[in-house]
Amino acid sequence: MQSGKPSLILAIETSCDETAAAVVRDGREVLSNIVASQTDIHRRFGGVVPEIASRKHVEQITVIVEEALRSADVSRGDIDAVAVTQGPGLVGSLLVGISAAKALALALDVPLIGTHHIAGHIYANRLVGEIVYPALALVVSGGHTELVLLPEEGVFRIIGQTRDDAVGEAYDKVARALRFPYPGGPHIDRLAADADDCIEMPRAWLEPDSFDFSFSGLKTAVLSEVNRAVMRGEVPMFAALARGFQESVVDVLTGKTMRAARVFGVKQVLLCGGVAANRGLRSRMRELCGEAGLPLLIPPMDLCTDNAAMIAAAADLKWRRGQFTPLDMHAEPLMPLEDWSVRAG
Ligand code: KG4
Ligand code: ZN
């Protein structure tokens, strides 16, 4: 244990289309959090193009790391460890961050901490409050939809996950059908909030005892409604469809989370990932946790979407236990979350 000693972690995140670097003290105090988004570049292709993403990371990474150090007002010599997203993510994108992190760790002679991207999303919550265990995290992003039980600090158990599309992916595909640019989640969120009407959509509850999710049927139902209207020569009711879609998603996500919270007797609920920026989801979750008397943590918007401060927050778990990563580590595009749990002892 490195207990007692404050840590200053420099973290790098390049798993998808954001080039990000941050400096965080003790896994909870954000000194800087710099994010360069490539969304404008990928928008005209309707989604992330992996080859373009890694090239952009190469162009940006040095500048972003410099900026993170400068705006944290720390020098290289103050850094205790370098953390980097090891996976999951796009292999070419991960590699850029990993190469930079290895070079920095070697040059500064400090430990390297390969970090799990989803552990990062979950521990973004530690940047806003104290986590109480056992806790239950609902992870909703462009690539993931998971219910994760944390029986104790740094230990992850997946109790439910999507069987097809991730929820953010479903948002982006539905948004495309409703003529919105990538990434479509925020557009659907806004449209749903302003809608006067609602076209009722199906809810995929799956087996009664299952904590898994499925969003492809819902996505197809929205696309069919759009096609039907177009074939009849009518303008689809975009706002009512967006509201119907969002209500179905929010109902199922919050319904399963609250049931899992009861079944596993958790003391706190954590919401995280890019889709946690969704206003409908945030407010329904607050309402239900309030009624159940369960404390709820939700990071602010800029800590919900991909960033490096969350990677430092998760890496701090390993720093405090002296669990470091060898410099010959590789990118792990399909890295399993449970295996990243802290080692006992
Ligand atoms: O976590 P994230 O930044 O990247 C991944 O690791 O995937 O999540 C990005 C996803 C995109 O699918 C985007 O459409 C969705 O988060 N998103 C939203 C909202 N803001 C971002 N979805 C619904 N409502 C929002 N307000
Ligand atoms: Zn993410």
Q: What is the pLDDT of residue 34?
A: 95
Q: What percent of the chain has pLDDT over 90?
A: 88
Ranges of H-type helices in the chain: 39-43, 50-72, 91-108, 117-123, 167-177, 185-194, 216-231, 238-263, 279-292, 301-304, 309-320
Q: Name the band, by pLDDT with cuts 50, 70 and 90, for residue 5.
A: low
Q: In angstroms, rounded to a whole number, what is the distance separating the alpha carbons of residues 283 and 276?
A: 10
180 lines ligand 1 (CB under 6 A): no
| CATH class as words, domain 132-298 | alpha beta
Q: What percent of the chain has pLDDT over 70?
A: 98
Of 35-39, 117-121, 232-236, 245-249, least confident by mean pLDDT is 35-39
| pLDDT of 41 higher than 90 | no
186 lines ligand 1 (CB under 6 A): yes
Please state which architecture CATH assigns to domain 8-123+304-340.
2-Layer Sandwich (3.30)
Ligand 1 atom at minimal distance to the Cα of residue 15: 6
172 lines ligand 1 (CB under 6 A): yes
Better-predicted residue by pLDDT, 183 or 251: 251
Q: In angstroms, rounded to a whole number, what is the distance separating the alpha carbons of residues 35 and 185?
A: 19
Which H, E and C letters describe 4-38, residue by residue? Answer: CCCCEEEEEECCCCEEEEEEEECCCEEEEEEEEEC
Instruction: Determine contact, residues 123/298, Cβ cutoff 8 Å.
Output: no
**Separation of 142 CA from ligand 2 center, angstroms?**
7
Of all protein residues, the one whose alpha carbon is nearest to atom 23 of ligand 1 is 185
Q: Is 8-123+304-340's fold the same as 132-298's?
A: yes
Q: Is the dihedral of CA 256, 248, 186, 14 positive or negative?
A: positive
**Separation of 237 CA from ligand 2 center, angstroms?**
31
- Rounded to an integer, the average pLDDT of 99-106 is 98
Of all protein residues, the one whose alpha carbon is nearest to atom 14 of ligand 1 is 185
Better-predicted residue by pLDDT, 59 or 188: 188
Instruction: Determine contact, residues 10/23, Cβ cutoff 8 Å.
Output: yes
- Rounded to an integer, the average pLDDT of 153-163 is 98
pLDDT tens for 300-338 read: 999 999 999 999 999 999 999 999 999 999 999 999 999
Q: In angstroms, rounded to a whole number, what is the distance separating the alpha carbons of residues 31 and 7?
A: 12
pLDDT tens for 46-58 read: 778 788 888 888 8
pLDDT tens for 221-245 read: 999 999 999 999 999 999 999 999 9
Q: What is the pLDDT of residue 11?
A: 98
Ligand sitting nearest the alpha carbon of 275: 1
278 lines ligand 1 (CB under 6 A): yes
Instruction: Determine contact, residues 257/147, Cβ cutoff 8 Å.
Output: yes
- The mean pLDDT of the chain is 94
| pLDDT of 2 higher than 60 | no
Pull the structure tokens for residue 74: 């720390």
The Cα-based distances of 105 to 99, 108, 122, 236, 338 in angstroms read 10, 5, 25, 54, 26
**Separation of 274 CA from ligand 2 center, angstroms?**
6
273 lines ligand 1 (CB under 6 A): yes
**Separation of 305 CA from ligand 1 center, angstroms?**
6
Better-predicted residue by pLDDT, 44 or 135: 135
Q: Name the band, by pLDDT with cuts 50, 70 and 90, for residue 1.
A: very low
Domain boundaries, the chain: 8-123+304-340, 132-298
